[in-house]
Structure 1
Amino acid sequence: MLVVISLLATAYFARDVILPIVLGFLLALTLSPLSRAMLRIRIPHVVSAIALVSATGLLILAIIGGTAGTIAVWSDELPLMGAEIREKLSAMSDAVEEVRAASKEVEEFSGAEGTTPEVIIKQPGLLDSAFDTFTQIGATLVVTLVLATLLLSSGELFYRKLVQAFPTMSGKKRALATVYNIERQVSRYLLTITVINSTLGACLWLYLTALGMPNAYVWGIAAALLNFLPYIGGFIGTMLVGAFAIVHFDTLGYALLAPLGYQILTGFEGQFITPWLVGRRLSMNTVAVFLTVVIWGWLWGIPGALVAVPFLVVFKVFCENFEPLHTVGIFLSGDETAEAPEDASRPLPRQ
């Protein structure tokens, strides 16, 4: 328990250092199947690493540049949007207003008995906050991309170092087989999930465009990112799309088509596409997934919630391939029992 508390405290206070390192390793694992495929056509690891990470960085910058202006406009229009939503849902909000009025009366009654001094904390200016946020995001992005480039360009260096660290041949074979198995499963999972989420975002973009929703591409990008949050992401996306659809469409019935389509697409993806492509081998315990998202969201905010499930998959595969932690791997698995670690006597997988 002391070790767990110490790790959580370290992760909380060292977020700015640990987060880009975690993102760098996850990005390297995601791109490693592509790097190995490029090696088969005789493209060196260094060249493929620079090309893949550069393409990823340009894609991230394009997404940020394409959505930042729209999100800034939406943030300025939030009060007007809220008033319009309340007006269109006035019949449903009467009960809420009554409860709010009663709560206000209770606060005024309790405040009449005595005065409570107010402490006003001066917040930093908008320009300072924006500059700090931009600097933090930029530093995280740079460290992530540089670390991923170094990891991908190193090729088999870490595997050679691992083999040299074990004195016996059986230990070398088991360690190498375990590491290869972990790297293969996790990289395939991360790459597959990334492709699935990107396809989901593209489908939602086309659907909302057909409905006439303005800035539908922003919602496609948001859906792709939110889909990294199982269970929670689909609900958040449905509510946000529904709120903006009520603002931009004249009739409530037509506006509800947007969240309905969002829910149908995410439900079809979650029930059929992901289980079919990912398979039962990496099925997860739903309680463990939910708790992981909550804990990492509390520790690191939105970035922590987004990397929670990939991080849990990495830890689960490691436990399944490391015999002393095999019981933990079984607990983190879904309805199916986790497979036993690979036997060291089996031939090593070819990379």
Structure 2
Amino acid sequence: MPTLPHKKTPPADSLATIANVLLAAFIIATLYLGRELLVPLALATLLTFMLTPLVNRLQRWVGRIGAVLFVVVTIFAGTLGAGWVLTHQAVDLANQIPNYKENIRTKLKSIKVPEGGPFSKISEMVEELKKDLPDLETQSSSPKAAGDSAEPPPLPVKVVSGKNQERMQLVQVILSPILGPLGTASLVLLLLIFMLLQREDLRNRFIRLIGQGRISTTTRAMDDAGSRVSKYLVMQLVVNVTYGIPVAIGLYFIGVPNAILWGALATVLRFIPYVGPWVAAAFPVLLSLAVSPDWMVPLMTISLFIVLELLSNNVMEPWLYGSSTGVTPIALIVAALFWTWLWGPVGLVLATPLTVCLVVMGRHIPRLAFLSVALSDEQPLTPAEDFYHRVHRSGDHDGMEMVDTYLKSNPLSSLFDSVLVPVVASSEADYREGILEAEQLEYIQTGVADILDDLELRVTPPTTPPDPSAPLVCCIPAKGLRDQLAGNMLAQLVRQSGRVVENASSKMTSGELVGWVWDMEARVACVSVVAPSTVIHARYLCTKLRATVPDLKIIVGLWGAVEKSSDSLRVLRESGADEVFSTLTEAATRISELVPAPPPQGSQLP
């Protein structure tokens, strides 16, 4: 097949592309440089989305201020309580880890790696560890011998100014890692309170600022984003809690220490898409290897996480979510990498909600439609567009594969109206604009014709020759091969109801077409019109048909027309057309009503 010609890009489009790239770079730079301010703002906004339904319910009884304070105090108290419990669990774990040295030594000794091959390095490393482990006991039992063989190295002496400076340095080292997150959490809490109290005012100001002249669109976008993000966060929290509680209970009965700590960690890390659950499972699995003298506890721990993950993914999430977030899995992974690069671990947690907001913006703002195409789980191409790009591929036509897939869930009439007719019209439009060459247009039309021939062999069952006296339906192309292809589609639909149909060739002149209809003694004639064929071509044929065969029922099919204008209908009716349709399905149904089904050949009429 010939390659597609390259269409020159206008200078204005090139400048617009450059401007969009510069704008995207500016936005990314702003997000990165302003992360200290934007991260607390994003966290507070998402928490506002999540808590708004609860506040709306409580304010019916205690008012808005009471509802906000109750929700915030409850969350704050719950966070402090959970932090206190988890801190004790972590301290207890740190104190118990040295007691598991013997179990680790036993498991290392039990590992047998075959020598040679790709695992030779691993085998050598394991053997060295095995040799080193007994020496620890020897060294600990004879410290004097080791001390006699070598003199201890001299210790460096450092002069300090005083105890007060040491204390200040110690306080600085201890508090520096704590003050940053603590300040961010305080700012998020403060923003959350005021956003919950003033959410209606903030909403109105945002609509006034962004939606000038587009208040309806902005309102729909905000409602869509709010409902999607709120539903996602609430349902994700429910799913995570229903996942973390069984983890804690299961690990407790298996015998893994600090089960509450690992259950809480699994609940939190599950907010991270795809990777979080397995990171959460790694810690208790490694701990089970240390605490157990055999392999039963680690195997039971691994089995617990696999079973819970299967139940959560296949039962809990479909039941609670009902529908997806509207984002493709690959988009979620890319978004997680992008937001982690911008905002660190917090960006990883916020990746999914922020991506959902971007998808909603792409659906409602035309200039941001590329976000919806790139990130949403909607089909990027319509069936007609998908088929159109398939028939451009080099080699044999592979459109039949898509046709078979489409017919599994759609009727043949939908295939013709929604896929093949738009493909024929699009190829003709592209040829007129110079995007396609004549050879490429012929290639596409040949592919569609081959598919129609294949469908006719498969869909139309073999029958005995039709009765010559049966009423006949004639399909007439208005101008070109495109109209003939549409007539072939209509003929296949009408034949399914048992009617006798003939389709004329587009190579016949208008006079030959009229004479052919007269010779056929047809009862119904359908003039097929596919753009760029126009009403003028159909009007000319209708006039000649009405003058030659006065009793003929004439139907005009403006296939693929978005709407039938009143002027077009008036012109066609004045030229002799009885009815006008825009879909093959409607025309086939009407023809079946106008033409009675012929009796089986050889049967006698009563």
CA contact (8 A) 1:225 1:306 kept: no
SS at match of 2:199: coil
Distance 1:48 1:330, change over 3 A: farther
**Rounded Cα–Cα distance in structure 1 between residues aligned with 2:207 and 2:127:** 70
Distance 1:7 1:127, change over 3 A: farther
Distance 1:210 1:134, change over 3 A: same
Q: Which residue of 2 aligns with 1:17?
A: 37
Q: Which residue of 2 aligns with 1:257?
A: 300
**Rounded Cα–Cα distance in structure 2 between residues aligned with 1:266 and 1:126:** 44
- Residue 209 of structure 1 and its aligned partner are, at CA, apart by 1.6
Which of 361, 366, 381 lines up with 1:318 in the alignment?
A: 361
CA contact (8 A) 1:25 1:148 kept: yes
Which of 223, 242, 245 lines up with 1:199 in the alignment?
A: 242
**Rounded Cα–Cα distance in structure 1 between residues aligned with 2:55 and 2:204:** 18
Q: Which residue of 1 aligns with 2:174?
A: 130
**Rounded Cα–Cα distance in structure 2 between residues aligned with 1:241 and 1:214:** 9
Amino acid at match of 1:158: L
Q: Which residue of 1 aligns with 2:205?
A: 161
CA contact (8 A) 2:44 2:192 kept: yes
Amino acid at match of 1:30: M
CA contact (8 A) 1:209 1:216 kept: yes
In terms of fraction of residues, the more strand-rich structure is 2
SS at match of 2:344: helix
Which of 233, 240, 260 lines up with 1:190 in the alignment?
A: 233
Amino acid at match of 1:206: I
Distance 1:281 1:258, change over 3 A: closer
Q: Does 1:209 align with 2:263?
A: no
SS at match of 2:256: coil
| Number of corresponding residues | 314
Q: Which residue of 2 aligns with 1:149?
A: 193
SS at match of 2:245: helix
Partner deviation per Cα, 1:179-238 (whole Å, 9 max, x = no partner): 122212211211111121122111211111222222111111100111111211122122
Q: Which residue of 2 aligns with 1:306?
A: 349
Distance 1:89 1:185, change over 3 A: same
Q: RMSD in angstroms over aligned alpha carbons?
A: 3.1
Which of 241, 251, 273 lines up with 2:316 in the alignment?
A: 273
- Residue 6 of structure 1 and its aligned partner are, at CA, apart by 4.2
CA contact (8 A) 1:189 1:278 kept: yes
Per the normalisation by structure 2, the TM-score is: 0.47
Identity level (%): 21
Which of 4, 26, 35 lines up with 2:46 in the alignment?
A: 26
Q: Which residue of 1 aligns with 2:71?
A: 52
Q: Which residue of 2 aligns with 1:180?
A: 223
SS at match of 1:193: helix
CA contact (8 A) 1:30 1:188 kept: yes
**Rounded Cα–Cα distance in structure 1 between residues aligned with 2:249 and 2:366:** 47
CA contact (8 A) 2:255 2:297 kept: no
Distance 1:202 1:127, change over 3 A: farther
Amino acid at match of 2:122: V
| Greater radius of gyration (CA) | 2
**Rounded Cα–Cα distance in structure 2 between residues aligned with 1:163 and 1:18:** 20
Amino acid at match of 2:43: L
Amino acid at match of 1:98: E
Q: Which residue of 1 aligns with 2:82?
A: 63
- Residue 30 of structure 1 and its aligned partner are, at CA, apart by 0.9
Which of 364, 368, 371 lines up with 1:328 in the alignment?
A: 371
Amino acid at match of 1:44: G
Task: Give unmatched runs, 5+ long, in structure 2.
Answer: 1-20, 114-120, 129-168, 382-606
Distance 1:181 1:334, change over 3 A: closer
CA contact (8 A) 1:86 1:93 kept: no
Partner deviation per Cα, 1:93-123 (whole Å, 9 max, x = no partner): 8552636999xxxxxxxxxxxxxxxxxxxxx
**Rounded Cα–Cα distance in structure 1 between residues aligned with 2:170 and 2:362:** 46
**Range with greater deviation from structure 2 (301-310 or 181-190):** 301-310
Q: Which residue of 2 aligns with 1:120?
A: none
**Rounded Cα–Cα distance in structure 1 between residues aligned with 2:256 and 2:77:** 27
CA contact (8 A) 2:106 2:293 kept: no
Per the normalisation by structure 1, the TM-score is: 0.78
Partner deviation per Cα, 1:44-83 (whole Å, 9 max, x = no partner): 3222222112211222222222212333454577687688
CA contact (8 A) 2:285 2:302 kept: yes
